[in-house]
Amino acid sequence: MKTTILEKEGNLVAVFEGRLDTAAAPETEQALQPLNDCTGHDIVLDCTNLEYISSSGLRLFLAVLKNAKPKGSHVYITGISDSLRSVFAMTGFTNLFEFK
Amino acid sequence: MEYEFLGFSLYAWVTMVTVLSIFFVMARTRIPAEVAFLGALTVLLVTGVVTEEEGMAGFGSEPVVIHAAFFVIIGGLIQSGVLYWLTKNVLGDPKNYRFAVFRLMLPTSILAAFLNSVNVVALFIDAVKIWSRKLNIAPSKLLLPLSYAATLGGMCTLLGNSSNLVVAGLYMSETGKSMNLFEPLLPGLVITVIGVIMVVLLQKYIPSRAPAEQSFETTSDYTVELLVPTDNPAVGSSVSEAGLYRVKGGSLVEIVRFDREIIMPVPQDEWILGGDRLIYAGQINEILELKRTHGLAAADHHVWSINDIDTKRKMRTAYVTFGSELIGKSMTESDFEQKNDVVLVAVARQGSRVAGQPREIRLQAGDSLLLECPPKDDEKLEHDNRRSLTFFDSHFVPQISAKTVTSAIILVLMFLLSSFHFLPLMATTMLAAGAMMVFGCCRWNNVSKYIEWELLLILGSTVVFSTAISKTGIADIIAHDVLDLCGNNPYVVMTVMCLLASFVSEFVSDVGSSAVFFPIMYKQALLMDCNPMPFIMALMLSVTISFASPIGSSCHMLIYGPGSFKFTDFARLGIWMHIVLLIVALTIVNLIYPLYL
């Protein structure tokens, strides 16, 4: 699992590669730390190369959202595959996030 | 037939190994009894121990046919409301426990003689539970006396216990003489009276077990599992924000995510995701309110929208019966929930909480289950699962009508006809079964529903074992050996054999034990030039008094779950009953029947 944070067109972009399962969650949580300081930026979670997401992975996404919202930042999710989309749909995350 | 080992032929060895394997299978595995018995019958047929004709003869034998006809008669009595009327009117309004035990045992033992002990116990379980609530005592304190009364009363007629019919059937095939319906009346009556007195006197040995259904209502420590539907407004908030952390009557102890990740203990700020299973500990009724107030669901599969939840579904409680196919499996490992459109919400075991997710708990006999069930088709659910579960609220209240009287008359006529020997028992039961249908007491299309085919298959097979035991010379050899050991003293022989038969019956079943011991004891009587009758009657009585385990007595098995009994509870009183009644049986049989004709 690899997580890269980029700054692109004024947005903070987190690019995920691999499987975000329970084992990978702590390391990913660390990697997402820079997103805490997002004032003035929108956040994009790029899932194009994300193969799988577990419930602990979803928790991290939710944490990003919970942190960003009070600061007036939007959180967008891009590039999710059909299998990921079904996980987002089932857990009710499609109603919480904005998708690009 | 030339090969012999220790005096037994090859066929005899095949028979003995087969019969002993059944005992093992019954005691140690969960293979259904009828499958074990039919399997054994197949072995005997394939190895040529019995011919095809002998192998199939069991299914047309007297005990099987009478039982089949009797199931139809009972079906008629149930549908026309006779049995319902009896349960309503037979029990009075007792003032204290001692009187209640007596008041319960007297009528039920009489009824058991005519309606078969198992039917009577099944019939009175609910009524007795209502009684126990009125008297404010544990149902176990009355259910055990009920089981004793029915089994004891059942000893008085051939129809009273299945094993009586098996012995009578084997007697007829050996001698060609049919036994009178009331042949065991006198010894049965004496044993019943002594047995009832013993239960009343030894009531301190009857355990008091908290009723399982009450434990769901009153105990504060149960585990309930509820699902968060996708569109639940709580998704994305923390459990405490959503008001789902500390709830009225309980608290959240565990969250199981959609990918089976378990959060335990649950921090107050843990977020809720759609598809989460929230596991609560506490008072069931209050926790179940969360379904209404917070849009949670009891479900075996994912629920997308709160609107998909059928609010008319209802909670029902049921026991896991002995030999249930659910034993040893959890709900997630079986297709029970999908097949029956039910969801397991909580499990109680002997009145206390079982830790963990209810749907992951491996079930045991006697467990009480709280199930969310479809709003309709209660009876179908009960019927489809009658071998796995007994529902607390088993209802089906028939109307009292002219048919009630008709079917009662049919029953009385059946007893009169057969007791005065106008017709043999087999003919009268078939006639009565026919009459029940002709007069509309039992609906044609419902007939097969009331027949317990499994029991008929077991009975049919046991008759064949008996044939094999005689035919292969096992009966001869064991009969001779026991005679040699006991010095040809008929009293000693009878005592030893009855002791063995009743012991085997404790671990297998009264029916199986009687079929195995009948040919041996009959042979012994002939070898000693004795009247076979005392031997046969002693066998008939002694296989029934195996009260020390729930396996030995079909009636005990029925009350096991409803009374929240432990396996060993039956032994406390049962061992004393077994010993004393065996002595009484042997004495009384020898007083009534002359040893030499």
Domain ranges of chain B: 74-208+403-450, 212-391
Strand, helix or coil for residue A77: strand
**B258–A89: do the CB atoms touch at under 8 Å?**
no
Confidence tier at A45 by pLDDT (50, 70, 90): very high
**pLDDT single digits (tens) B107-147:** 999 999 988 898 888 778 877 877 787 777 888 999 999 99
Nearest CA in chain B to A96: B236
Other C-beta atoms closer than 10 Å to the C-beta of B90 total 18
Whole-number Å distance between alpha carbons of B152 and B591: 19
Confidence tier at B209 by pLDDT (50, 70, 90): confident
Q: Position B21: which residue type? A: S
Q: What distances in angstroms separate CA B395 from CA A23, B73, B112, B379, one per listed residue?
A: 52, 20, 22, 8
The pLDDT score that the predictor gives to residue B82 is: 83
pTM, two decimals, is: 0.65
**B125 vs B536, residue with greater confidence:** B536
Confidence tier at B216 by pLDDT (50, 70, 90): low
Strand, helix or coil for residue A68: helix
**Rg of chain B, C-alpha, whole Å:** 27
The pLDDT score that the predictor gives to residue B370 is: 83
Confidence tier at B199 by pLDDT (50, 70, 90): very high
Confidence tier at B234 by pLDDT (50, 70, 90): very high
**B236 vs B306, residue with greater confidence:** B236
Q: Which CATH number fits domain B212-391: 3.40.50.300, 3.30.70.1450, 3.40.50.1370, 3.90.79.10?
A: 3.30.70.1450
Tokens for B120, please give them: 């009577």
Q: Best of A91, A94, A95, A97 to disrupt the B interface by mutation (most B CBs within 10 Å)?
A: A91
Strand, helix or coil for residue A41: coil
Any idea what the CATH number is for the domain that residue A90 is in?
Answer: 3.30.750.24
**pLDDT single digits (tens) A4-29:** 988 888 888 999 999 999 899 999 99
Which H or E run contains A43?
strand A43-53
- B258 touching A (Cβ < 8 Å): yes
pLDDT exceeds 80 at position B89 = no
The pLDDT score that the predictor gives to residue B220 is: 44
Whole-number Å distance between alpha carbons of B328 and B322: 12
Contacts with A53 from chain B: Cβ below 8 Å: none
Nearest CA in chain A to B256: A55
Average pLDDT of chain B to the nearest whole number: 85
- Per DSSP bridges, beta strands B246-247 and B250-256 are antiparallel
- Per DSSP bridges, beta strands B314-320 and B368-373 are antiparallel
Strand, helix or coil for residue B280: strand
The pLDDT score that the predictor gives to residue B446 is: 67
**pLDDT single digits (tens) B456-469:** 898 888 889 888 98
Domain count, chain A: 1
- B301 touching A (Cβ < 8 Å): no
Strand, helix or coil for residue B96: coil
Phi and psi, residue B172, nearest 5°: -65, -40
ipTM greater than 0.95: no
- B274 touching A (Cβ < 8 Å): yes
